[in-house]
A and B are shown apart, each in its own frame.
Chain A
Amino acid sequence: MSIGLLKKSFLIYKPIFFWNILVSILTSYLFVLKGFAMTDLYSLSLFIKFTGWVSSIGIYFMFYRSTAYFFKNQGMGFRSILRNIILYDWIIFSMILFFIFLCQNFL
């Protein structure tokens, strides 16, 4: 996990980052709607987040063929990029959730 790798990944995989942030905001919105109290909403939000990740892996594969040598020339393989994309998304998702719960009373 490094900021350098994040910058390099972001250059090429902007759509994946934006897609994941959109899904994270939607998921967090469902949590705000008392997702924890309503099991079905809670399950739905987690399902949406999981589907978002599956879609982002699909988008990643679409880009991967044309970018594999570019990244490998920088010493980065398929797994390290995918691992980092999901890791950073998890961090962003946690931050959005934390921020929303912090400000829940004001929303």
Chain B
Amino acid sequence: MPELFIDSVNHWFGEREILSSVYINCKIGEVTGLLGRNGCGKSTLLKIIFGSIKPNFKYLNINDKVYKKGYQSKNLSYLPQEDLVPDQIKVSIAIDLLCPKNRAALLKIDLISKYLNTKFHELSGGERRFIECLLMIYSDNQYVLLDEPFSQLSPLFVEELKSHINQVKISKGFIITDHYYKSILGISDRIVLLHNRCNYAIKNEGELVLHGYLPGFTA
């Protein structure tokens, strides 16, 4: 079965170990939610998978092929926390470059058709983020990494994004991280918590309390 997985991730920032023997995987048709406190290494892990950060060690496998950098597979999209598309690019050109096969589906979305000839720097912060999220969700690649897709977005946009992810996930695999944990819990098929440099499979919200991600734990 087609799958993306990364194993034995070890990463240090100077003297501080951020990730130790971390494993995460994502299958087609599945949304993997990645949770963790600030500074636990969620974004770093996504960047390591994508190939923007070189860790001390990792083993990355995408559809039974080993890669040094995920983006070299040409089958992996990544939405960073910062702006994705350069300011001077028009929405229509970004669609042509990032998701030519799904152009028709994107054009059915009101905000996209409204701003088709608008440059990204002319959009508001929320609109820009929403459109960039859509570009990644509808990208031609099979695997999508979304780093805080819901930040800056109004509740209406968050719900719309979730419905788009649900629509396309039949043919794609997603790894999503965000601090809006309820949205992540609602949309994910599996939850992975990064805590104490390691990954934990989470079965219910109570385990998030137990691992100290949510408040309420009393010993």
Binding site for B on A (CB under 8 A): 8, 11-12, 63, 66-70, 72-75, 77
Contact = CB atoms under 8 A, between A and B. Distances in A.
Given A11-B93, A68-B52, A69-B80, A75 B74 contact: yes
B23 interface: no
A72 B98 contact: no
B83 interface: yes
20 contacts: A8-B97, A11-B89, A12-B88, A12-B89, A63-B86, A66-B86, A68-B52, A69-B80, A69-B84, A72-B51, A72-B52, A72-B71, A72-B78, A73-B78, A73-B136, A73-B139, A74-B97, A75-B73, A77-B69, A77-B71
Given A72-B52, A77-B69, A77-B72, A12 B139 contact: no
Given A75-B72, A77-B72, A70 B52 contact: no
Q: How large is the interface on B (under 10, 10 to 19, 20 to 34, 35 or more residues)?
A: 20 to 34
Nearest to B140: A74
B71 A70 contact: no
Interface of B: 50-52, 69, 71-74, 77-78, 80, 82-89, 93, 97-98, 136, 139
